[in-house]
Amino acid sequence: MIGRSVLILALALIGAPALAAPAPAADPRLDAFRAACMPEHRSPEKRPAVFRREGWVPAADDESPMLAGVLKLSRAYIEESKADGVNGDLSVWRKEVGGRTAFLVMTTVSAKSVDVTGCYVYDFGALNGIDPALVTAWLGEAPAQTVDRAGIAAQIWNAEGIEGVVELQNGLVAPNSQAAKILGFHGVSIKVTSGVEAAKDPS
């Protein structure tokens, strides 16, 4: 009798619908990125007001050794690009996010054919990345590309539902990895690159 009951229960479970996987927990780093980087994402001149409203404050390059390394590479690239007629600029911001110090870097690059602006949020030294499922759920699309090599795990979305976005990237760089040595940091980086909105003709 017991054996028959177990068999009936097993058959019932086989026929039962599978339980849905639980949704990933929210990540304060993604929330901070969305709140700061996505409003006015095509208007670099308007972004600082958004940053301040969200609690970000201006930061110095040397507030973190890893930040200093990243910015050294970025500023060197800006200087080298001037010879090709490309002008760039960046600003640096800081905020406590999820009990850790996060840094935000806004970039602008102007060339003859295109002007783009970037917004990066870094959690240096973090060992846990932002779950890409959270980004997919937000954007409503799967990543267009994934990378998992040399110590970096990253996903890139086209963000086709957000006008002006070139790409959105989420990544985790492992400590002591080849990628960390090249990039000068390990931890989390999430960024959006957008085309700068053309100024409207006042006439």
Mean pLDDT per 10-residue interval, the chain, length 203 residues: 44 46 81 98 96 98 95 89 87 97 96 89 98 97 97 97 96 97 95 82 44
Q: Where are the domains of the chain?
A: 24-195
Half-sphere exposure at residue 107, Cβ-oriented, CA atoms within 13 angstroms: 21
Burial of residue 27, with CB atoms counted within 10 A of its CB: 0-12 exposed, 13-18 middle, 19 or more buried: buried
Query: What is the pLDDT at residue 22?
Result: 60
Query: What is the pLDDT at residue 16?
Result: 44
Angle at 40 between CA 36 and CA 45, to 5 degrees: 100
Q: What is the pTM of this model?
A: 0.85
Cα–Cα distance, 79 to 90 (Å, whole number): 12
